[in-house]
Amino acid sequence: MELTMTDRTTLRRRLPFYLLAVLLACCLAGMAQTAYAQTPSPPPLPQPAPGAAGCIEANIFYGAVPPGGEKARVLVFVPGLAGLAQDWWTDQTVAGLNDMYYYAYGFGYRTAFVNANLIDPNGACSAERRPANDMLRNGQTLAKQIEAIVKYYNVSQVDIVGHSKGGIDAQSATVWFGAWRYVRNIITVGTPYQGSILADLLWSPEGEQLGDLLGQRDAGTFSLRTPLMQLFRLITDSSRLDDSVAYYTGAGNFWDTPDSIFQVLGAWIQAQPEGGGDNDGVIAVSSTRLSYADTLYLQPWNHAEITIGRNTFPYVLKVLLADVAPASDVALEGPATGTVGRDYDFTAILPPRTSQPVTYTWQATGQPTVVRSGGANDAITFAWSDTGPKDVVVTATNIAGSGTATHTVEINEVTGPEQLVLVGPVVGDVRVSYQFSAILPAATTLPITYTWQATGQPTLIHAMDTTQDVMSFNWREPGPKTIRVIAENLAGMTVAAYQINVLTPSYAGTGLNRYFPLMQALGAPEAGAAQTASLTGAGSNTILRGGTLDLRATARFPVEPEASRMQVSLFTTDPAAAATLVGPDGSRAGLAAVPDTGTDFFAGAAALAGTVDAPAPGEWQVEMQSAQATAYLLLVTLDSSLTVQLRGVTNPIGLPEQLLELEAASQSSAGDTQVNTLILAVAGEETGDGGAAQAASAGPALSYTTPAKPGLYSLSIQALGTTASGYAFERAFMQPLAVIPSRLSLEDIETILDLLKGFLP
């Protein structure tokens, strides 16, 4: 039995890229040399602002301003999971020195680097790698930091570069904590927008003991679990708040870095049937995609190499240079009609990618000229004391050009509300929301106050700048319901009433849930219905083991004749741990130590690994020894023509007491195979640690009912079977599952956000 850690042919595969990288580096070096002409020595290291007050501002590190860059655009760099600001300018990984700061400085940009992972920011305050915070907590911190950076540099917007989870933190800050006002572009590299299967592994029944000892089962990895990220995507992708922000993604697809943790983890991710495939040794390429983001690159880099300046900054520069656009396409919005004596708002709007700052010159009939500086939009208020047409003209000017827009508003005398009309359904069901509209003639003077009164409902008052208002009501009890609306402005008021008959629906009490758009959007079945659709993609070729290593332990697993290659990877917390791989014939070989440097996941773990070509069929063993009590996680990846697929789990989000009909099917090029047993272990809120809830089948099928309590759970399924020649085989499947309340509306964003917060530790 021969153990080899790497396939050296991969170096030949990468040779053309190395040559291209050298050529690109030479070109960039020439450009950077010009930029550095006045400062031949490296720039000063980033520092907090002088007199920085408070935890938030003390953890912003401002780079030196390059010569002539006093008005240059500002780049904000956000590190990944367990990352710190210094990761952008120091040597922290197998990729060597990160020269991102030096490239940004050399090309004339102002910079800021943040520690968003703050512990107790309102108290003792410290920036630590662990424990890592979730994207909501970091997003809130980052939003405050972005606002401070904007004020420090006196700019209206910044461009963000985020690595790994830092990209999710940046989007969280932008969408959920108001930073969209200050963000022009978000450029992310290796960001797991769709979740991380390594996070799923850490929270699986097999990985939980080791994850706890490593201190990696924190809010950061918890928030990256696939079900939680799918909930986050559901409410974040549908938001319109960041429509003015442009997103760009970059990804790596090379993990076979010799003698590195990326080689070990990447091989396992590559073999996963769901959420795996091509990856950078930590994050699958498929997880870095956003439907509304432009793909900057897909390059043969690992998860550390994608954050290095000489690799990624050319793509960042491409976005920044393409972003220089004149202010010629200015649009002007405002009311078409109005009345004397009332204030009216007018807004000048430029495309999001217009270069800033922008100078706005406002002129209006009978009004003094107003000139001021702003961002991609500007607003002003005018009022007139006489009737007639009034022209509003705005000229927008920036470094690349200017443009003018004109808007005309007709100012009239005040007109009172008349002929109020109510529109809505005349019949409905209990516990269902129905929409009602109040409509006034278009000539009615604004603003209008609408007072809504309905049977069994609190009075609601809306002050509107439109001649229409909309309100939704639902009732718990059947019977006739009256809706009454009072519309009032400066010239008077009017009243209208409407009636709806609310019934008890015929399907009540049947357990059906007709109004469940969230689950419909996710493609999930009704409560009580079984999930039977097949999983897509390739079958599993991996085996998982995990548990306690108290000085000595042995893990056993079968290997079938169809396997042509086997990679075995062992993780513990003991640097002195050793492991021996024992073949069916008694042959023995030690697993080799692998550095853990460069990965966000399993940092601090002692990793041992080895590969076996043409492994003998039969039972294999890994004999483990440690100098202290610890835990272990064993990953076995097979190159085999025998594959196993699992049917019955269609997505990572389900309902309470949802019936899952699990069934495994195997196939092999060597003949008929058969799955004999499914073993299920579940870890989560109701099961405790160690996968306490377990079940097994006498055959390839197993029924499982999801917990009644909403929460996040990890399902680990082992499929055991025999080949045509009588050898045993085994495959492992991980299925994280979020169980959410049965009645939840896709439109109720706040409820979903609260649910997400409730799931987080």
- Clarify whether residues 350 and 479 are in a common domain: no
Among the three residues 505, 526, 546, which one is the final residue of a domain in this structure?
505
Give the confidence band of 690 by pLDDT, cuts at 50, 70, 90: very low
The H helix count followed by the E strand count for the chain is: 13, 42
- Clarify whether residues 308 and 347 are in a common domain: no
Q: What is the DSSP letter of 284?
A: B
Residue 652 placed within a domain: no
Give the confidence band of 536 by pLDDT, cuts at 50, 70, 90: very low
- 8 A C-beta contact, residue 506 and residue 695: no
Residue 195 has pLDDT above 90, yes or no: yes
Q: What is the pLDDT of residue 424?
A: 87
Q: Which residue has the higher pLDDT, 122 or 598?
A: 122
Q: What is the pLDDT of residue 259?
A: 85
Name the 3-class secondary structure at 80.
coil
Condensed to tens digits (0 to 9), the pLDDT of residues 633-646 reads: 999 999 999 999 99
Residue 35 has pLDDT above 50, yes or no: no
Among the three residues 483, 505, 527, which one is the final residue of a domain in this structure?
505
Give the confidence band of 425 by pLDDT, cuts at 50, 70, 90: confident
Burial 389-415 (b: 16+ CB within 10 A, else e): ebebbbbbbbeeeebebebebebeeeb
- 8 A C-beta contact, residue 328 and residue 395: no
**Percentage of the residues of the chain whose pLDDT score is greater than 70:** 87
What number is the average pLDDT over the span 445-464? 92
d(CA 569, CA 606): 11
d(CA 547, CA 533): 32
Name the 3-class secondary structure at 669.
coil
Residue 662 placed within a domain: no
d(CA 477, CA 480): 10
The burial class, CB within 10 Å (0-12 / 13-18 / 19+), for 510 is exposed
What number is the average pLDDT over the span 132-160? 96
- Clarify whether residues 316 and 431 are in a common domain: no
pTM for the full predicted model: 0.71
Q: What is the pLDDT of residue 224?
A: 96
Residue 327 has pLDDT above 50, yes or no: yes
- Clarify whether residues 125 and 28 are in a common domain: yes
Residue 450 placed within a domain: yes
* Cα–Cα nearest to 681, from 210, 221, 224, 203: 203
- Clarify whether residues 427 and 300 are in a common domain: no
Structurally, the chain folds into a number of domains equal to 3
What number is the average pLDDT over the span 245-252? 97
Q: What is the pLDDT of residue 365?
A: 96
What number is the average pLDDT over the span 351-373? 89
Name the 3-class secondary structure at 56.
helix
- 8 A C-beta contact, residue 177 and residue 195: no
Structure tokens at 253: 């697809």
Q: What is the pLDDT of residue 39?
A: 33
- Return the top range by mean pLDDT from 2-16, 217-231, 323-337: 217-231
- Clarify whether residues 429 and 395 are in a common domain: no
* Poorest-pLDDT segment among 208-212, 248-252, 309-313, 648-652: 648-652
Residue 461 corresponds to which amino acid?
I
Averaged pLDDT score across all residues of the chain? 86
d(CA 341, CA 411): 9
* Cα–Cα nearest to 95, from 305, 262, 313: 305
Q: What is the pLDDT of residue 653?
A: 85
d(CA 682, CA 216): 20
- Clarify whether residues 27 and 170 are in a common domain: yes
Assign residue 190 the CATH number of its domain: 3.40.50
Measured between alpha carbons, how far is residue 533 from residues 277, 527, 645, 663 in Å?
Answer: 21, 16, 12, 10
What number is the average pLDDT over the span 295-314? 96
Residue 574 has pLDDT above 50, yes or no: yes
Residue 146 corresponds to which amino acid?
I
The burial class, CB within 10 Å (0-12 / 13-18 / 19+), for 243 is exposed
Residue 549 has pLDDT above 90, yes or no: yes
Residue 172 placed within a domain: yes
Residue 349 placed within a domain: yes
- Clarify whether residues 382 and 238 are in a common domain: no
- Clarify whether residues 175 and 135 are in a common domain: yes
**Phi and psi at residue 635, to the nearest 5°:** -115, 125
Domain assignment of residue 362, given as a range: 342-399
Residue 472 placed within a domain: yes
Length of the chain equals: 761
Residue 99 placed within a domain: yes
Q: What is the pLDDT of residue 232?
A: 93
Structure tokens at 111: 């910079």
* Poorest-pLDDT segment among 327-341, 518-532, 698-712: 518-532
**Phi and psi at residue 135, to the nearest 5°:** -70, -25
**Percentage of the residues of the chain whose pLDDT score is greater than 90:** 63
Structure tokens at 87: 């990761």
Q: What is the pLDDT of residue 355?
A: 76
Among the three residues 505, 539, 561, which one is the final residue of a domain in this structure?
505
Residue written as token pair 């063993």 = 621
* Cα–Cα nearest to 25, from 318, 258, 312: 312
Name the 3-class secondary structure at 218.
coil
The burial class, CB within 10 Å (0-12 / 13-18 / 19+), for 427 is exposed
Assign residue 457 the CATH number of its domain: 2.60.40.10
What number is the average pLDDT over the span 694-700? 87
DSSP 170-204: HHHHHHHSSGGGGEEEEEEES--TT--HHHHHHTS
Burial 268-299 (b: 16+ CB within 10 A, else e): bbbbbbbbbbbbbbbbbbbbbebeebeebbeb
Asked whether the CA dihedral 148, 152, 154, 159 is positive or negative, the reply is negative
Residue 332 placed within a domain: no
d(CA 40, CA 80): 31
Q: Which residue has the higher pLDDT, 157 or 507?
A: 157
- Clarify whether residues 494 and 389 are in a common domain: no
What number is the average pLDDT over the span 140-154? 97
**Phi and psi at residue 567, to the nearest 5°:** -115, 130
What number is the average pLDDT over the span 608-622? 97
- Clarify whether residues 346 and 455 are in a common domain: no
Q: What is the pLDDT of residue 100?
A: 97
Residue 101 has pLDDT above 50, yes or no: yes
- Clarify whether residues 15 and 105 are in a common domain: yes
